Structure 1
Amino acid sequence: MQNYQIFLLLMAVYLLGLISIGLYFSKKQKSVTDFWLAGRRIGSVAIGFSAASSWMTAGGILAVIGLYIVLGMSSIWSFVAPNILALLLIALLVGKIKHLPAITQPELLEQRYSSTLRGPVAFIIAVVMILFAVADIRGLSLVLEIFFGLPPIYAAAIVAIAISLYVTLGGFSAVVWTDMVQFVLLSVFALAMAFIVVSAATAGTAEIPAISTSELLGNVSTDWWNPFIIGIPAVMIFIFAIIPGWVTEQDPWQRIWASRDEKSARNGMIMGSFLIFLVFGVACTLIAIGLSYLYPGIPASFAEIGMGAMAQAEPALLFFIVENLSPLALGLAGVGLAAAAMSSADTFATSGGSCLSRDIYQRYIKPDATMKEMMAVNRVSVLIIVLAATFFSFYITGIIEAIHIATFIASASYFFPLMGGLYWKRATKEGALAGLVVGAVAQIAFTIIDYSGTPLQAIGFLAPISSLLSNHGVILGMLLSGVAFFGVSVATKPSSLVNLAPFFADEAEKLVKEDILVQDSDVQYKKLLGSLDKEITGDRASLKLNLEASATVNWDRFINELKSIHPSWVTPTGVNSVYWLTKGDMLACVSLSRGHTEKEIWFSSEPRTKDVEEASKEFFTAFKQVAQALDNIGIMLALPAPQKA
């Protein structure tokens, strides 16, 4: 009981720190972009720590150590290598992703294709994020059960309450900065345990003789060190089964959009891959070797023993901690593993919550919601994801299995519509929808079939039929999705210019350009410059102008009037986001959104720093066009009077 009390005390101090971070950032949340993308101000170090932290769960660490014990380095292809390679591949895609005007992937797909895809993709991503969060809660459940004999409800309560508090307060800013704290705790825990376990192994026990560190490392077979012992075909199957889903996972894209510039995002992803290698590739390897020597009774062949091997190997580190560490060290280890669980679960809660909030509620239920209403919905959406993950954590027991199932559904459903839309001009909304539906239905069906064997086997029901059907048949699921996507796209009408321009420079050149004629001496222009909020964030500037109309604005009527008199104003993702499409770089285009009240209209744009002067003149022209549209429906919009010195 003393161990449990020390853990509770340390956990309380830790949670107070996280909540303090959430409270600090809660004062900075003024818009949807601030809440979901941290105002696009995150630097490379924060991106790197957060990216690494979000892909390291308590369950993941235990599972990786267990896989090393049972399968050796050949197990890296099922989890470790895809983590590292996915972040490196995402770093290569930063240039394409960073400057797209989206907060979520479903919103991006609507911009590229149509609203037909946004709802289904938002639902799939929300489900995937819930499954990922389930793995975090299950991992912490195992920790608390072995450490303190606590039932799973305690782990669910700790994760749910903590995340609900600091994420709903501080949004994505709180996620990123708490991730940094959590990764420090996690890495210190992993490296410290590597040192302690290796020291214990070399010191020996009454039953096991003491050996040197070099002898310990040489105690494992040559085959154990060979990552390709399973064969190149099996390696390639793992790569193509897992990496596409992780490359297109929403949370790393969310970090790219939240970064201050392209360089910060790219360097952060590269840094994140190195940090993952440090924990999974170095610390976990040493822990696994030490535990294998200390517990020779753990089965050494997963193929022969099946699930029983992992059942013994996965919690081996936890049993070692209970048997060898002091109550204080045990409490610290518990907090470190809790940090690992929360550092991933908070990311999945924000990614899934953004889909519920922006892609479902604001897009389909209340497009004219005010910013104040959306901030409340944002927080409720995070709670829904957390509560759903908590509920399903009592029914899904496999940690790596939950991660893999979620990944395979993502890979088979929206990999081709998303990546194909970014790089293939001929992709169409019909092709994207076909790829999405065929891939999702096929993958869900394959997963159900794979579990239809009696008795349930670790290798699944499909793998014995063909190696290409291993991993719940995800390779076939992706193949069917790709065939549907490319086949239907070629057979249907190409996408419109409005959908193509933000993604392809040559299409953007075809946009009708409007002359921006503004005199620097114009009194009204000078007045606008005095009211314009300018902030440099990396290679871009953030320009904002919040104005209040003379009366309540009927948003639908106003937007329809604006589009009718100035057709270059478009609503590619619904009336909640209105763009003056003057260029293919939609981030640099002036956009409109509803403010905190039904009278407020918020103007914003994110031009490149070298184009701020030109963008300011576009702002002024956009203001005049908006004022004209409002005047046509009997509402006045004026620039505020300059403040007296």
Structure 2
Amino acid sequence: MEDLAFSGTSGIMIMLVYGALMLAIGIFTYLRNKGLHQSHKEFYLGGGSIGMFVLFFTFFATQYSGNTIVGYAPTAYRMGFMWLQSITFFILIVIGYMLFAPRLYVLSKKYNFITPTDFIERRFQSKGISILAAILMLYGLCNFLLEQIVAIGHGVSGLTGGTVPYQAAVIFFVTIMIIYGWLGGMRSVAYTDTMQGIALLVGVAILLVGAVIYFGGVPSATDYAVTVSPEKLGVPQGDGIVSWFSMLVLVMIGAAIYPHAIQRIYAAKSEKALKNSLKWMAWMPFVTSGLVFLIGIIGIQAFPGLSEGESEQLVGMMANHIASQNTFFYWAMVILFGGIVAAIVSTADSVLLTLSSIISKDIYGKYINPQADDKKQILVGKLTGVVLVAGLLIIAWYPPATLYRIFILKFELLIQIAPAFILGMYWKRMHKHAVMTGMVIGTVIAAYMAFTGLKPLGIASGLWGLLANLVFSVGLSFLLKSSEADKGIAEKAIS
């Protein structure tokens, strides 16, 4: 048997089969719903009728993606037990959702929200705030899409032992994603998410079982690390604790207001379906990121001495070794192979869909060609999305950073919309000029600190920007007097 079970034609065939499955779902969805009017609500929200089961998996496959499976295990390999915080990340994200998701769902049905900026526009009725929020969301979405494109390349290349080159994997799956997303919109994305989420859950669980059987369990890996890498058993000290805590806060708020996650709130069939899907999501950190963390720890003993670049392909290396042991694990790793790649693509397709919706409705439809009907706006969004993907492919051809660094960068600016979104949903006194001032100052501070590497006290630059944002948006809201018209707008928008 080959040293790498997925090298050669077998790896190529697995990639082709999963690509064909995703494409088939897109074609099926297109044919099934061909007669429906191509409105914003139908294309971007699946008609607002996504039920609990599919809604859960589209949340799941969007939240747990390339950075979770392909990126988080290598991070655990490099950092050791300090990476336990990754489990906490996802618990806090669900808490972040519960702060506003049920209320936002009710408002979305009342006012027919389509894009994430629709709430901000109705709440403040300020062109400046709406445009700045759209720009920040587009930045975060492009960053997130870049992350997934890089993850596709690393995942397939690692799982096939390099038989499928990084660049070839990226081109193949991005093309598949664009086709089925173009054909079926949110319905295609949600249905492929369901297939992808099930494959991911099954594959990761069996990968951990195989890792324990063939590489030794966590106790064995821990004993090995004591001798070889004792620093991986430590806990953060001083600035490390502050940095850890700041990252948890950054992710809790930032991931909860992912623009594509917000659109899933809008797409829910009912408030009950939304709440139940979020309840299921509360358990997923333990059975997904928790298992991935353990896989990374076991990898310390399984493949010692990997460089940072080499460790990025840890999951693929482990899966190939386990698959070569017997037929059962071979087919289980086939499921994992597809689950990893499909989960990466599932997040990328969600991001691309939301990105297209903001461009088509919030920018083109409102400011460039307000007379355009929904069909034309959707076409412009699709075409612009393809152009942006082409640009990101050029960047991703030789990835600029590890997946973890790419993952963190997007939150620094995206989080600056949180005061307008969350406080604005509950606090009627919040003044639109205060919000605009806070967003601008917070964005400038966060951007400067992020791109110059400044991190005072170990606190993430995005949180320093958010602190300044809150000081100005809240402080000025107390100082500035709202007109009666603005009071009426606020009262109507959130009641």
Instruction: Give the TM-score band, short-chain normalised.
Output: 0.7 to 0.9
Q: Structure 1 length as normaliser, TM-score?
A: 0.67
The alpha-carbon deviation at position 379 of structure 1 amounts to 2.6
After superposition, give the CA deviation of every residue in 1:277-336 in whole Å (9 maximum; x if it has no partner).
31111x2133223322323435xxxxxxxxx5x434332232233445349657655433
The alpha-carbon deviation at position 225 of structure 1 amounts to 7.5
Contact 1:159 1:341 survives alignment (8 Å): no
The alpha-carbon deviation at position 109 of structure 1 amounts to 0.9
Give the distance between the partners of 1:448 and 1:285, measured in 2 at CA.
29
Contact 1:126 1:351 survives alignment (8 Å): no
Aligned amino acid, residue 85 of structure 1: L
Give the distance between the partners of 1:265 and 1:311, measured in 2 at CA.
39
Contact 1:47 1:272 survives alignment (8 Å): no
Structure 1 stretch 432-441 or stretch 332-341: which is displaced more? 332-341
Greater share of helix: 2
The alpha-carbon deviation at position 92 of structure 1 amounts to 4.1
- The percent of aligned pairs where both chains have the same amino acid is 20
The alpha-carbon deviation at position 148 of structure 1 amounts to 2.4
Give the distance between the partners of 1:345 and 1:16, measured in 2 at CA.
17
The alpha-carbon deviation at position 30 of structure 1 amounts to 2.9
Structure 1 stretch 167-176 or stretch 267-276: which is displaced more? 267-276
User: Does residue 200 of structure 1 match 2:204?
Assistant: no
User: Does residue 500 of structure 1 match 2:481?
Assistant: no
After superposition, give the CA deviation of every residue in 1:113-137 in whole Å (9 maximum; x if it has no partner).
1222222211221121111111111
Q: 1:37 to 1:381 in 2, by over 3 A?
A: farther
Give the distance between the partners of 1:178 and 1:290, measured in 2 at CA.
31
Instruction: Report the secondary structure of 1:284's partner residue.
Output: helix
User: Does residue 391 of structure 1 match 2:398?
Assistant: no
Give the distance between the partners of 2:207 and 2:66, measured in 1 at CA.
14
From 111, 115, 118, the counterpart of 1:107? 118
Give the distance between the partners of 2:175 and 2:202, measured in 1 at CA.
25
User: Does residue 264 of structure 1 match 2:262?
Assistant: no
After superposition, give the CA deviation of every residue in 1:500-554 in whole Å (9 maximum; x if it has no partner).
134443xxxxxxxxxxxxxxxxxxxxxxxxxxxxxxxxxxxxxxxxxxxxxxxxx
Give the distance between the partners of 2:414 and 2:257, measured in 1 at CA.
8
Q: 1:155 to 1:97 in 2, by over 3 A?
A: same
Q: 1:71 to 1:372 in 2, by over 3 A?
A: closer
From 453, 458, 481, the counterpart of 1:467? 458
* 1:207-286 superposed matches below 5 A: 215-216=219-220, 219=223, 233-281=242-290, 283-286=291-294
Q: Which runs of 5+ in 2 are unaligned?
A: none
Instruction: Report the secondary structure of 1:148's partner residue.
Output: coil
Contact 1:160 1:390 survives alignment (8 Å): no
| Corresponding residue for residue 351 of structure 2 | 348
Aligned length, in residue pairs:
467
Q: 1:361 to 1:498 in 2, by over 3 A?
A: farther
Instruction: Report the secondary structure of 1:98's partner residue.
Output: helix
Give the distance between the partners of 1:321 and 1:358, measured in 2 at CA.
43
Bigger radius of gyration, 1 or 2? 1
| Corresponding residue for residue 130 of structure 2 | 118
| RMSD, aligned α-carbons | 2.7
Give the distance between the partners of 1:488 and 1:167, measured in 2 at CA.
43
* 1:61-76 superposed matches below 5 A: 61-76=69-84
Q: 1:269 to 1:392 in 2, by over 3 A?
A: farther
The alpha-carbon deviation at position 487 of structure 1 amounts to 2.9
User: Does residue 319 of structure 1 match 2:317?
Assistant: yes
Q: 1:29 to 1:69 in 2, by over 3 A?
A: farther
Give the distance between the partners of 2:37 and 2:84, measured in 1 at CA.
40
Contact 2:54 2:194 survives alignment (8 Å): yes
Contact 1:105 1:250 survives alignment (8 Å): yes
Give the distance between the partners of 1:284 and 1:108, measured in 2 at CA.
36
After superposition, give the CA deviation of every residue in 1:41-81 in whole Å (9 maximum; x if it has no partner).
1122212111111122234313211222233342233x442
| Corresponding residue for residue 140 of structure 2 | 128
User: Does residue 160 of structure 1 match 2:169?
Assistant: no
The alpha-carbon deviation at position 38 of structure 1 amounts to 0.9
From 28, 36, 45, the counterpart of 2:44? 36
Give the distance between the partners of 1:218 and 1:400, measured in 2 at CA.
23
Q: Which runs of 5+ in 1 are unaligned?
A: 203-212, 299-307, 451-461, 506-645
* 1:318-467 superposed matches below 5 A: 318-326=316-324, 333-394=336-397, 395-411=399-415, 413-450=416-453, 462-463=454-455, 466-467=457-458
Bigger RCO of structures 1 and 2 (CA < 8 A, at least 6 apart): 2
* 1:610-629 superposed matches below 5 A: none
Instruction: Report the secondary structure of 2:482's partner residue.
Output: coil
Q: 1:403 to 1:218 in 2, by over 3 A?
A: closer
Greater share of strand: 1
User: Does residue 18 of structure 1 match 2:41?
Assistant: no
Give the distance between the partners of 2:15 and 2:316, measured in 1 at CA.
18
Contact 1:139 1:341 survives alignment (8 Å): yes
After superposition, give the CA deviation of every residue in 1:150-207 in whole Å (9 maximum; x if it has no partner).
44321321232011111111111111111010111222221121111111024xxxxx
Contact 1:7 1:332 survives alignment (8 Å): no
Give the distance between the partners of 1:125 and 1:168, measured in 2 at CA.
21
After superposition, give the CA deviation of every residue in 1:217-249 in whole Å (9 maximum; x if it has no partner).
763669968877777534422222222211222
The alpha-carbon deviation at position 358 of structure 1 amounts to 0.9
From 284, 288, 295, the counterpart of 2:296? 288
Q: 1:406 to 1:193 in 2, by over 3 A?
A: same
Contact 1:32 1:375 survives alignment (8 Å): yes
Contact 2:147 2:403 survives alignment (8 Å): yes
| Corresponding residue for residue 175 of structure 1 | 189
Q: 1:270 to 1:383 in 2, by over 3 A?
A: farther
| Corresponding residue for residue 58 of structure 2 | 50
| Corresponding residue for residue 477 of structure 1 | 465
Give the distance between the partners of 2:244 and 2:67, measured in 1 at CA.
23
